Amino acid sequence: MNNPLYDIIRKAHELKWCMTPYCTTCGAHDYRNSLKELAGSLGGGLVDALADINPQDIASIPNWQDALLVAIIDLPFPLQVEGVLKAWLPKTTDNIFFADFAIYKIVRHLPKDNETRRRWIEHCMTMALNTKNFSLIESLILVLRQDALNHSELIAIAKEYAKTSAQIKRVLLNACNLKV
């Protein structure tokens, strides 16, 4: 669990620094300054620390999701985000919550024709169909929107959840224009 990003996130938690993405009050200034120090002039230090993340380890740190999102937002070059996502992909097999976070908060913002996005969707689709995890099913539908209709197994699971979940009913209606 030796990663300089973990140390920064723990320090931010201990000192009660804001790590809220897009904070309009303070801009998560203290936390982001620490990330800039780690990153260096071209972002390499932060990229290396992000790519080296172990999903099980990071998930044990308070506020990890906001902290990672701010770190990703602060990467200076779009290709660095893709590099981090490529490094994370094989590590997510045993951590649905990390995969769910990544696909919903980061991957969905990549262009539709992006290969990294396609690989993440494929990977998360397999996880979702095998586990029937509610949140991952929901995230995939929100990421895919109308294209979710091309995945009959995913839609079938969502329809089953929609029998008892107003939330999934709303997602199917808003993302896929599908009334259940």
The tens digit of pLDDT for each residue in 21-30 reads 999 999 999 9
- The fraction of the chain above a pLDDT of 90, given in percent, is 93
Per-residue pLDDT at 132: 98
Region 75-100: what's the mean pLDDT?
A: 94
Q: Where are the domains of the chain?
A: 1-76, 95-180
Residues with Cβ within 8 Å of 169's Cβ and at least 6 positions away in sequence, in order, are 162, 180
Per-residue confidence band for 1, with pLDDT thresholds at 50, 70 and 90 = low
Per-residue pLDDT at 94: 85
Report the C-alpha gap between 25 and 9 in whole angstroms. 20
Per-residue confidence band for 93, with pLDDT thresholds at 50, 70 and 90 = confident
Residue range 17-52, pLDDT digits in tens: 999 999 999 999 999 999 999 999 899 999 999 999
Give the amino acid at 18: C
Per-residue pLDDT at 101: 97
Give the amino acid at 161: Y
Model pTM?
0.93
